[in-house]
Amino acid sequence: MSLTHRLAALEHRLGHTLPGDAAHQQLSISERPVLPLESVLQRDDLRIAAVLVALFPDETGEAQVVLTRRRAELRDHAGQISFPGGRMEPGESAEEAALREGWEELALPPETVRVLGRLSPLWIPPSDFLIYPVVGALAARPRWTLQDSEVASVIEAPLEVFLDPANVHRDWWDLRGERRLVPHYRVAEHQVWGATAMVLAELAELWSEVVPRG
């Protein structure tokens, strides 16, 4: 099955009921606060953001996912591996915000991204953001131009990495003064954890549904 057909199958799957919390919990940090989405959405002070989960083909035609390493001096999630993304502006849809952030952080022209759909929204307790992950497909590998104030580097990760249970590790870390068990993906020298890993866990589950393995 070509990548074009696999992406079309993913687009179709995104239009149906998603695994959501069940997939997120596979990469959830121990003792992570859990609130029903309905309760989170009722808050007037909720901060809302969108992230772009961009997929593109490598030279062999296999899917790569675009991640960024945030600069160490940022206030929220400093130094962590993330998706391009940020706060939604008034009147923006999640899709519009995700494409705008892709342009601002990586100079990714919005017209080159074919939006496939959304993954499940996810609340991030430490920064108190509700994020909407928007999945987009690119016809070819772009040339990255980084926004120096936010992005330290770009990571091109094979999507297959996140389908292999051997790439999931669980270690005890000190987070905000507490000892927590942190599941994470290891991608080369990087540790992908937190909300980014939870979003990738859902994407990997959907990809494994629509793409035959063997």
Tens-place pLDDT, residues 197-208: 999 999 999 999
Position 77 scores a pLDDT of 52
User: Is the Cα dihedral 201, 204, 210, 214 positive or negative?
Assistant: negative
Q: pLDDT category, 38, cuts 50, 70, 90? A: confident
CB-based contacts of 205: which residues, under 8 Å, 6+ apart? 19, 23
Q: Of 152, 158, 153, which Cα lies nearest the Cα of 73? A: 152
pTM comes to 0.93
> Rounded distance, CA 184 to CA 167, Å?
8
Q: Of 159, 132, 98, 166, which Cα lies nearest the Cα of 20? A: 132
Position 34 scores a pLDDT of 72
40 touches 79 (CB < 8 A): no
Lowest-confidence segment of 5-14, 26-35, 67-76 by average pLDDT: 67-76
> Rounded distance, CA 99 to CA 85, Å?
8
Position 181 scores a pLDDT of 93
Position 200 scores a pLDDT of 98
Q: pLDDT category, 1, cuts 50, 70, 90? A: confident
Which of 33-42, 47-56, 73-82 has the highest average model confidence (pLDDT)? 47-56
Q: pLDDT category, 130, cuts 50, 70, 90? A: very high
User: Is the Cα dihedral 72, 73, 74, 76 positive or negative?
Assistant: positive
10 touches 206 (CB < 8 A): yes
Residue 57: what are its φ and ψ, rounded to 5°? -85, 140
Amino acid letter for position 89 = E
Q: At 3, which helix (H) or strand (E)?
A: helix 3-14
pLDDT one-digit tens code per residue, 138-191: 999 999 999 888 898 999 999 999 999 999 999 999 987 889 999 999 998 899
Amino acid letter for position 63 = A
pLDDT one-digit tens code per residue, 53-112: 999 999 999 999 999 998 766 555 557 899 999 999 999 999 999 999 999 999 999 999
Position 214 scores a pLDDT of 59
Position 65 scores a pLDDT of 98
CB-based contacts of 121: which residues, under 8 Å, 6+ apart? 37, 130, 131, 132, 133
pLDDT at 40 over 80: no
CATH (residue range 3-209): 3.90.79.10
> Rounded distance, CA 158 to CA 141, Å?
13
